[in-house]
Amino acid sequence: MISPAQPGQTARSPYVRAADYVAAALIFLQDNLLLREPLRPEHIKPRLLGHWGTCPGITRIYAALNGLVREQGADVLLVTGPGHGAPAIHAALWLEGTHEDYDSNLARTGAGLRELARRYCAPDGFPSHLSPAVPGTLHEGGELGYGLATAFGAALDAPERLVVCVVGDGEAETGPAAGAWHSNKYLDPVTGGAVLPVLHLNGYKISSPTVFATMTDDELTSLFRGYGWDPHIVDVTGDPPGEPLATAVLDAHDAIRDIQQRARGGQAPQRPAWPMIVLRSLKGQGAPAEVEGRVIEGSFHAHQVPLPDVREDPRQLRALEAWLRSYRPDELFDANGRPVAEVLSGIPEGGMRIGAQPAANGGRLRHPLDLPSLEPHAVPLPKGPGTATASPTRVLGGWLADLMETTAARRDFRIVSPDELASNKLDAVLAASGRAYSWPVEEYAEDLARDGRVMEMLSEHNCQGWLQGYLLTGRHGLFPTYEAFAAIVDSMANQHAKWLKMSREVDWRAPVSSLTYLLSSEGWRQEHNGYSHQGPGFISNLLNRKSTVTGVYLPPDANTLLFTMERLLDETGKINAVVAGKHDAPQWLDLDAARDHCRAGASEWTWAGTAAEGGDPEVVLACAGGIPTVESLAAADLLRRDLPDASIRFVNIVDLCSLAPADRHPHGMPDGQFRALFGEETPVVLDFHGYPSAVHQLLHGRPRPDRFHVRGYIEEGTTTTPYDLLALNGTTRHDLALTVLRHLDPYSGRSRQLAAQYAHRRDEIRRELRRTGVDPAEITEWTWTG
């Protein structure tokens, strides 16, 4: 029997008391989990890890959402931004029985609770933040700032879904979180669900106050109204009676439904003020107010482990026991450790439980894309390689427009981009779907639509968060951006790669669609923007991630780009970077040849080399990337003309990771294929789109990797012409031909003569372009002569 609150006690509900108790017990206890005997040092974990400070707020939010689900049947997905509040989520999942559904060892018994405590922050157990092994989650929160954008991505094209996002007040200080508040202007109340942000205002970060804690209610209200929200401030410090948070959540749900019903009835509000909640609580609410002269509850001392020396300090041990017993666990759990009926009475049942939300295991909801045919968009080459020109991304844009059409009914494909769709020549998609924007625009604007599935915002963080939330809830998408600025989301890509890697190790997680970046406006053609835009480092970042979840592709023309994108948009469980040019350029392979080339990952282009088929060449001239392919072919053209007797094999690499040994990367080509392309002792001159170190990293473990002489971007740049930018980095056709000559017969008279001739012409072109400001026609109008 749950006794009523006594004078001086708080009005915490039995559920909240139980959830707070379990969360605290997970941090501190390894035995005597329900305090059936006096607390002793041996009951305490030898390593105390976790974050208590945010947990009490999260348990109260979870309790309020349970009530919303029970009373309104709401379809709730919870995104927890402050992911280090994991003990609170584990407590909720254990109490509602979701943990037990996935693992009978975590049953709602004393033994199950002890096992949960054993696994929390233990080797091979649950980390201190949320992870893919935690049911009901799609965002770990370990790196702060991305929860709100992810929540919006999860709400898109899910009209009945309510995504509740807990935003920590420390997290809210980050730039990505600040930008994400504007996502409400992209949400269509007809085709989309809703996001209910809860700013958890508990006052402190690790060791100092948060910015938001220093703001008055008027300042907070003004700020969020300026963002376009309708903020409601709820104060639960002291756990006031009447459950004001539950009331605020129900009121917010009513307001959301009103906006949606009006919009779906044809009366969409011009500037819908979606509700949000500012939840004011004490940091670590419920912890001891003070121990040994140190304030804990309501201070930064409650952020992580409030009593860090409890195992060694008898006074802290007594304080911990008093704290835990204040929840009266004997009233909350029966003799077998099962939660009593009063604790469970407010929890939804079955599939309505928040932890059982299907969208949190979005791979189970995923349907394969209805991919359109490539043939109508392929660039024909009736007269052979190099005889047609096209913009690879413009060609791809036509195919993506078809994809937008084929996915119109299901609405499960989106493109996110930092206002670069037209710049990257992908604007054909706008004929099939407009740019999403739900607020009125009075000035001149093109292609805006409330229900658009193209999302453009000058925040790479928002784009990434939107797309992650969309993919993780079972949909598909593409992220085109400028190559140099992809690095802005390096850290987000890292975290998503870790999530995907860990998801593979959780047997009940179904794979989600791969996240694919299309990196156009590539660094080698950013000569007008200058040094700041010249950066191919995103490739290197991905190569440092787990090989099972990453891929890097450098299609050399439009047809290889088409086939690459068709494959990757049908793929699951990966992060891929595709680097492609947007400018008109020579095309090399027809669609059938492109398919064969991409399936191989790398192949010999016999039409470009001079080596006898099946024989051992003197040198292999290889390339990876659109611009390197042009320069390498131009170098091969020079050598075919000037040194026709030389035996040179030409190899193009489209799947960069195929260079790795097969035991180090799943894309690594077998040893026999590698030897057939590159030989065993043959010198290889390889022109690469990115940093040379990325290729050397992949070649580690291959025979004689020192014979690979890799040219690439070496961090030299300025505002100049395309040829000059190549020359600054030693990757012009003349530099490549010079390097090949050094590995043929450098001492022959003909080699010395050609080397001097190529170097002279390179330097002459550089002098000339400084006078004219443009590259000469022999560079800009070069075509493959065969």
For residue range 521-533, what is the model confidence (pLDDT) as tens digits? Answer: 888 887 677 888 8
What pLDDT, in 10s, does the model give residues 151-160? Answer: 999 999 999 9
3 state DSSP class of 29? strand
Distance separating alpha carbons of residues 287 and 743, to the nearest angstrom:
73
Separation CA 356–CA 325 (nearest Å): 31
Residue 237 domain flag: yes
Averaged pLDDT of the chain: 95
Domain membership of residue 676 (yes or no) is yes
Helix (H) or strand (E) run with residue 416 in it:
strand 413-417
* Whole-number Å distance between alpha carbons of 633 and 202: 62
Higher pLDDT pick, 446 / 101: 101
With b for 16 or more beta-carbon neighbours within 10 A and e for fewer, the 135-154 pattern comes to bbbbbbbbbbbbbbbbbbbb
Q: Is there a contact between 631 and 736 (Cβ–Cβ < 8 Å)?
A: yes
Could you tell me which of 184, 155, 192, 168 has the C-alpha nearest to residue 469?
Answer: 155
Q: Which of 357, 376, 404 is the last residue of a domain?
A: 357
Q: 335 and 448 share a domain?
A: no
Beta bridge partners of 480: 518
pLDDT value at residue 11 = 64
CATH number, domain containing residue 735 = 3.40.50.920
Domain count, the chain: 3
Which pLDDT band, with edges at 50, 70 and 90, does 777 fall under? very high
CB 629 within 8 A of CB 636: no
Judge if 40 and 175 occupy the same domain.
yes
> For tokens 């282009």, what's the residue?
605
The whole-number average pLDDT for the span 349-377 is 97
Same structural domain, 456 and 549: yes
Read off the CATH number of the domain in which 390 is found: 3.40.50.970
- Quote the pTM value: 0.96
Q: What percent of the chain has pLDDT over 90?
A: 90
- Provide the domain limits for residue 513: 385-579
Average pLDDT of 187-199? 98
Q: Which of 603, 567, 585 is nearest to 379 (CA)?
A: 585
Residue 567 sits in the same domain as residue 444: yes
Kindly report, residue by residue over 588-622, the tens digit of the pLDDT. Answer: 999 999 999 999 999 999 999 998 887 889 999 99
Residue 7 included in any domain: no
Position 27 pLDDT exceeds 70:
yes
β 290-291/575-579 pair status: unpaired
Q: Shortest CA distance to 168 belongs to which of 206, 199, 129?
A: 199
Residue 319 lies in a domain: yes
Whose tokens are 């995504």? That residue is 163
Instruction: State the burial class of residue 101 (Cβ atoms within 10 Å of its Cβ: 0-12, 13-18, 19+).
Output: middle
Confidence of residue 378 (pLDDT cuts 50, 70, 90): very high
Cα(309)–Cα(576) distance, integer angstroms? 46
608 and 564 share one domain: no
Query: Does the pLDDT of residue 141 top 50, yes or no?
Result: yes
The residue type of 294 is R
Q: Is residue 590 part of a domain?
A: no
Identify whether residues 574 and 608 lie together within a single domain.
no
Using the structure block, give the residue that is written with the tokens 């003569």: 753
In this model, does residue 9 exceed pLDDT 60? no
DSSP helix/strand/coil, 604: strand
CB neighbour burial string for 672-684, b if at least 16 within 10 angstroms, e if fewer: ebbeebbbeebbb
pLDDT at 703: 87
Mind listing the pLDDT tens digit for each residue in 73-100? Answer: 999 999 999 868 999 999 999 999 999 9
The whole-number average pLDDT for the span 753-771 is: 96
Among residues 530, 562, 579, which one ends one of the domains?
A: 579
Query: 776 and 738 share a domain?
Result: yes
DSSP state of 41: G
- Spatial distance between the Cα atoms of 420 and 481, rounded to a whole number of angstroms: 6
Residue 342 pLDDT exceeds 90: yes
Helices 110-119, 86-96: crossing angle, 10 deg rounding: 150
Q: Are 442 and 333 within one domain?
A: no
**pLDDT tens for each residue of 248-291:** 999 999 999 999 999 999 998 899 999 999 999 999 999 999 99
Residue-wise DSSP of 568-588: HTT-BS-EEEEE---S-EE--
| pLDDT value of residue 2 | 56
Helix and strand counts by DSSP (H, E) for the chain: 25, 22
Contact predicate 364/507, CB 8 Å:
no
pLDDT of residue 511 exceeding 50: yes
**Separation CA 647–CA 610 (nearest Å):** 5
Residue 588 lies in a domain: no
Residue 599 inside a domain? The answer is: no
Q: What is the pLDDT of residue 614?
A: 75
* Residue of 718, 714, 749 whose CA lies nearest to 735: 714
334 shares a domain with 435: no
Q: What is the pLDDT at residue 242?
A: 83
| Same-domain status, 539 and 683 | no
Mean pLDDT of 330-350: 97
Same domain for 402 and 293: no
CB 724 within 8 A of CB 613: no
The whole-number pLDDT of residue 527 equals 65
Q: Distance of CA 520 to CAs 434, 475, 506, 523, 591, Å?
A: 21, 23, 35, 9, 21
User: Considering 536, 564, 579, which residue would you say is the last residue of a domain?
Assistant: 579
- Assigned domain for 30 exists: yes
User: Higher-confidence residue: 785 or 735?
Assistant: 735
Contact 677, 606 (CB under 8 A): no
Q: Write out the H or E segment, with its range, that includes residue 285.
A: none
Q: Where are the alpha helices (DSSP H) in 476-590?
A: 490-503, 537-543, 558-568
Domain identity same for 709 and 663: yes
